[in-house]
């Protein structure tokens, strides 16, 4: 497959194309980028060399369309999850301020190709707060008749539906055609007093409360977004007000530490390694930013698809108390247990008649549609299903996600809201990590786009000027956390003016993106450990004696770690098979004496049994031949789903190669 290469600059232009969303034509301005101008003049624009270029950080630019990546990239066409028409539909009645549900007898007769009657019912879904693990529990009511034009009661937030077509020509008076579906309803639970207070917050000219909506797509680097989702990228570039943080660097391995850094100002790596997240109630004890927004009068929401991969539930008990006002977890749990599932892209993709992520984005649309004019909103909407395991799968969802963005535009979200389009990290394993040069950077550079609305750009031009400056400066999740804290007190003039209690715990000097970030900033100053830092140039070590000595020490350290963790009865002992490459990092700004006594290496190697591929960032003292390494920080470059079934700890899964045990698999 041939994909035309495109160049980019950090210079923002105006919008360029018109976009159709269902029956809505959304006009934009015209984009004249530097690339287009160069192309018109017959010139080939030069690639930028760095995303960030300072004495302490030289973050290399990555070409999304390099030959090694395009050799394994294949655009994927989206296949629908159903080929029938919806027999049950819902709409919001603005006069009643309630939802109506309709049954479609006309469509049922077309499906059956005969005269039939339609019999439908629904079951209410709700969270079982009394269960031992409430996040894994849900309850469903008895089947309630669903008549046409039914006004949904205010206490019904989630339902599943089922319909039968009754035919007089059938012996049992019921045809074989039946349809199951599921729906969400964002009901308004504000009291009259709360409505008055919320209206005042929304319309306070002196201290306006912007809505904050975070849209998250798992495992999407800023590089892969360009490769797989060009229509979404075009939307972002064409709507004035978006700023891309091209120097954004992740701070943890997988979703949990990276999302926690945004939501709590702490990645909690120590607590993750100590297993505290397995303790029931621990997650409830953390200080989430949505709690601060709730205290400020906001209505809050959190939604995530793929209940087995959910950030706060993957091998963890999740929340005891419902963490936000509108929480999709019980609905997702219920529909994945009761509706037909179809796997694509190595995970659950279709749930019933719909794409898994569609339930999340529909919920986000409902949240905005229902509450935009009533209360300040804070919502996090996160999708795992189509990007988690296959790096090219985003291409299948490009046009569909763009349609959701256009629908949110039509609803008015971008008039007064601050919106973040983010990811947790790039691809951590698979072909792009094992077969491309850019995989190392792709994993560490998630996308981060921040949108500020017209009124904000007019009222706070100095903040907008800082956003422009910050686009190509080193930033991290902790800066995003401080940005969210800043939104709650926009009149704060400096980072020093913030109460110390709300500064990011893991990075007290990290600051809001509305403030100018230091131009000459190191990874440690941004709260990024050396394992994940992309700022330092590397040189490949060609001395075999040197890299083999480091590799043997690393493997020995891994075996010692298995003993310390008491895993030797489950996990195979490691033996070095081969070294793919070892690079030495040049730590910018480090004293020459320190560099001479301790080298930082990135080692890519393979061990014998099952031939797993690992990447380790280590410190090595060449004089004493001693090693400093955190085994829990090891990166696994190939999938470990088939080799780690004997353990449930997400950290251990990366490096445990399960033994073949006689009889039943060891639990």
> DSSP per residue over 25-57, as a string?
EE-------HHHHHHHTT--PPPPSEEEEETTE
Query: Could you tell me if residue 121 is inside a domain?
Result: no
**pLDDT value for 193:** 85
**pLDDT value for 205:** 72
Confidence of residue 666 (pLDDT cuts 50, 70, 90): very low
Rounded alpha-carbon distances, angstroms, from residue 449 to 18, 116, 368, 442, 475: 21, 51, 19, 16, 12
Poorest-pLDDT segment among 160-164, 305-309, 624-628: 305-309
Beta bridge partners of 167: 116
Q: Over 60: is that where the pLDDT of 7 sits?
A: no
Instruction: Give the chain's domain count.
Output: 2
Specify whether 516 is located in the same domain as 650. no
Query: Could you tell me if residue 437 is inside a domain?
Result: yes
**pLDDT value for 662:** 53
Yes or no: say if 277 and 271 are a contact pair by the CB < 8 Å rule: yes
Specify whether 512 is located in the same domain as 558. no
Task: Look at residues 376, 369, 186, 199 and name the one whose alpha carbon lies nearest to residue 290.
Answer: 376
Specify whether 575 is located in the same domain as 626. yes
Question: What is the share, in percent, of the chain residues with pLDDT greater than 90?
Answer: 79
Q: How far apart are CA 450 and CA 418, in angstroms?
A: 7
Q: How far apart are CA 191 and CA 193, in angstroms?
A: 5
**pLDDT value for 21:** 32
Specify whether 459 is located in the same domain as 487. yes
> Which of 521, 547, 567 represents a domain boundary (last residue)?
521
**pLDDT value for 372:** 94
Specify whether 580 is located in the same domain as 516. no
Kindly report the CATH number assigned to the domain that includes residue 635: 3.10.450
166 versus 467: which is more confidently predicted?
467
> Which of 464, 496, 521 represents a domain boundary (last residue)?
521
- DSSP for 186-241 reads ------HHHHHHHHHHHT-SSS---EEEEEEETT-BHHHHHHH-HHHHHHHHHSTT
* First-residue to last-residue Cα distance in the chain: 44
Confidence of residue 36 (pLDDT cuts 50, 70, 90): very low
Beta bridge partners of 88: 103
Kindly report the CATH number assigned to the domain that includes residue 50: 3.40.720
Q: Over 60: is that where the pLDDT of 42 sits?
A: no
Confidence of residue 54 (pLDDT cuts 50, 70, 90): very high
In a 10 Å sphere around its CB, with 0-12 CB exposed, 13-18 middle and 19+ buried, how is residue 457 labelled? middle
Specify whether 598 is located in the same domain as 647. yes
Query: Could you tell me if residue 2 is inside a domain?
Result: no
Poorest-pLDDT segment among 472-481, 531-540, 583-592, 618-627: 583-592
Which residues, in sequence order, are CB contacts of 344 under 8 Å at separation 6+?
79, 350, 393
Which residues, in sequence order, are CB contacts of 36 under 8 Å at separation 6+?
none
Which segments of 356-453 does DSSP mark as H helices, in order? 356-371, 394-411, 413-416, 431-434, 439-444
Q: Over 90: is that where the pLDDT of 6 sits?
A: no
Looking at beta carbons, which pairs linking 291-296 to residues 24 or more positions away fall under 8 Å?
A: 292/485, 292/488, 292/502, 293/212, 293/376, 293/378, 293/488, 294/324, 294/325, 294/378, 296/209, 296/376, 296/488
Q: How far apart are CA 316 and CA 650, in angstroms?
A: 10
Radius of gyration of the chain (CA): 26
Confidence of residue 20 (pLDDT cuts 50, 70, 90): very low
629 versus 106: which is more confidently predicted?
629
**pLDDT value for 664:** 45
Task: Look at residues 551, 602, 559 and name the one whose alpha carbon lies nearest to residue 577.
Answer: 551
Rounded alpha-carbon distances, angstroms, from residue 507 to 43, 271, 313, 444, 530: 44, 17, 26, 18, 15
Average pLDDT over residues 91-99: 92
Specify whether 488 is located in the same domain as 438. yes
543: containing domain: 538-655
> Which of 521, 548, 568 represents a domain boundary (last residue)?
521
Specify whether 423 is located in the same domain as 482. yes
Would you give the distance in Å from CA 644 to the centre of its chain?
A: 24
Specify whether 623 is located in the same domain as 589. yes
Half-sphere exposure of 397 (CA within 13 A, CB side): 28
The secondary structure of residue 446, as a DSSP letter, is: B
Specify whether 223 is located in the same domain as 285. yes
Q: Over 60: is that where the pLDDT of 35 sits?
A: no
Q: Over 60: is that where the pLDDT of 469 sits?
A: yes
Confidence of residue 169 (pLDDT cuts 50, 70, 90): low
Average pLDDT over residues 85-109: 92
Yes or no: say if 607 and 614 are a contact pair by the CB < 8 Å rule: yes
Specify whether 500 is located in the same domain as 558. no
Q: Which of 176-190, 563-577, 594-608 has the highest mean pLDDT?
A: 563-577
37 versus 491: which is more confidently predicted?
491
Query: Could you tell me if residue 388 is inside a domain?
Result: yes
Q: How far apart are CA 135 and CA 319, in angstroms?
A: 6
Q: Over 70: is that where the pLDDT of 337 sits?
A: yes
Poorest-pLDDT segment among 105-109, 164-168, 323-327: 164-168
Confidence of residue 196 (pLDDT cuts 50, 70, 90): confident
Query: Could you tell me if residue 136 is inside a domain?
Result: no
Query: Could you tell me if residue 582 is inside a domain?
Result: yes
Average pLDDT over residues 26-42: 36
Q: Over 80: is that where the pLDDT of 493 sits?
A: yes
**pLDDT value for 661:** 62
Query: Could you tell me if residue 428 is inside a domain?
Result: yes
Specify whether 511 is located in the same domain as 549. no
Query: Could you tell me if residue 118 is inside a domain?
Result: no
**pLDDT value for 595:** 67
Q: Which helix (H) or strand (E) holds 179?
A: strand 178-184
Q: What does the mean pLDDT of the chain come to?
A: 90
Task: Look at residues 570, 242, 122 and name the one whose alpha carbon lies nearest to residue 233.
Answer: 242
Yes or no: say if 52 and 247 are a contact pair by the CB < 8 Å rule: yes
* DSSP-based three-state secondary structure for 183: strand
Q: How far apart are CA 51 and CA 62, in angstroms?
A: 8
Average pLDDT over residues 646-653: 91
Confidence of residue 15 (pLDDT cuts 50, 70, 90): very low
Q: Over 80: is that where the pLDDT of 392 sits?
A: yes
**pLDDT value for 197:** 85
**pLDDT value for 112:** 77
């Amino acid at each position: 497959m041939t994909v035309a290469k495109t160049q980019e600059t950090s210079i923002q232009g105006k919008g360029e194309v018109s976009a159709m969303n269902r029956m809505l034509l959304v006009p934009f301005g015209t984009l004249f980028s530097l690339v287009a101008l160069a192309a018109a003049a017959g010139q080939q624009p030069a690639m930028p060399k760095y995303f960030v270029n300072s004495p302490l950080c030289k973050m290399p630019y990555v070409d999304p369309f390099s030959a090694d990546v395009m050799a394994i990239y294949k655009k994927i066409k989206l296949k629908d999850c159903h080929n029938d028409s919806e027999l049950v539909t819902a709409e919001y009645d603005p006069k009643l301020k309630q939802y109506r549900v309709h049954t479609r007898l006309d469509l049922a007769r077309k499906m059956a190709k005969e005269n039939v009657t339609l019999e439908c019912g629904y079951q209410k879904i709700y969270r079982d707060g009394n269960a031992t693990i409430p996040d894994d529990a849900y309850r469903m009511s008895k089947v309630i008749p669903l008549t046409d034009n039914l006004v949904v009661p205010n206490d019904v937030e989630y339902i599943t539906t089922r319909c039968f077509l009754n035919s007089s020509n059938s012996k049992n008076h019921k045809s074989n055609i039946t349809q199951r579906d599921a729906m969400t309803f964002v009901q308004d639970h504000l009291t009259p007093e709360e409505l008055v207070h919320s209206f005042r917050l929304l319309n306070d000219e002196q201290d306006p409360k912007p809505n904050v909506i975070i849209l998250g797509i798992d495992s999407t680097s800023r590089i892969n977004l360009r490769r797989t989702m060009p229509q979404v990228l075009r939307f972002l570039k064409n709507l004035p007000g978006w700023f891309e943080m091209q120097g954004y660097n992740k701070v943890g391995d997988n979703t949990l530490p990276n999302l926690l850094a945004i939501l709590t100002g702490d990645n909690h790596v120590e607590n993750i390694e100590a297993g505290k997240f397995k303790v029931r109630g621990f997650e409830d004890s953390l200080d989430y930013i949505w709690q601060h927004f709730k205290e400020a009068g906001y209505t809050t929401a959190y939604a995530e698809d793929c209940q087995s991969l959910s950030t706060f539930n993957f091998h963890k008990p999740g929340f005891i108390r419902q963490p936000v006002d509108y929480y999709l977890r019980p609905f997702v749990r219920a529909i994945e247990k009761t509706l037909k599932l179809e796997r694509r892209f190595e995970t659950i993709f279709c749930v019933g008649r719909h794409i898994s992520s569609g339930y999340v984005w529909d919920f986000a649309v409902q949240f905005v549609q229902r509450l935009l004019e009533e209360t300040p909103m804070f919502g996090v909407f996160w999708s795992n299903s189509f990007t988690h395991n296959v790096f090219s799968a985003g291409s299948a969802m490009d046009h569909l996600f763009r349609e959701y963005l256009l629908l949110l535009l039509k609803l008015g979200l971008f008039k007064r809201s601050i919106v973040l389009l983010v990811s947790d990290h790039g691809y951590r394993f698979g072909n792009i990590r094992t077969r491309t040069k850019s995989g190392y950077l792709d994993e560490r550079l998630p996308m981060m786009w921040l949108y500020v609305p017209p009124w904000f750009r007019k009222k706070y031009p100095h903040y907008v000027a800082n956003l422009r400056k910050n686009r190509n400066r080193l930033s991290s999740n902790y800066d995003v956390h401080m940005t969210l804290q800043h939104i709650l007190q926009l009149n704060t003039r400096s980072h020093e003016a913030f109460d110390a209690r709300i500064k990011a715990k893991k990075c007290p000097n990290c600051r809001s993106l509305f403030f100018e970030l230091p131009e000459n900033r190191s990874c440690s100053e941004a709260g990024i450990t050396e394992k994940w830092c992309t700022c330092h140039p590397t040189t490949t070590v060609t001395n075999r004696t040197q890299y083999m000595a480091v590799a043997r020490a690393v493997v020995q350290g891994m075996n010692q770690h298995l003993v310390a963790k008491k895993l030797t009865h489950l996990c195979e002992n490691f033996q070095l098979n081969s070294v793919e490459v070892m690079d030495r990092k040049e730590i910018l700004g480090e004293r020459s004496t320190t560099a001479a006594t301790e080298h930082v290496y990135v080692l890519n190697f393979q061990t014998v049994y099952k031939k797993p591929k690992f990447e380790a960032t280590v410190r090595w003292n060449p004089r004493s031949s001693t090693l400093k390494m955190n085994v829990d920080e090891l990166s696994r470059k190939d999938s470990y789903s088939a080799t780690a079934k004997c353990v449930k700890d997400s950290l251990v899964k990366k490096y445990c190669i399960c033994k073949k045990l006689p009889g039943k698999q060891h639990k």
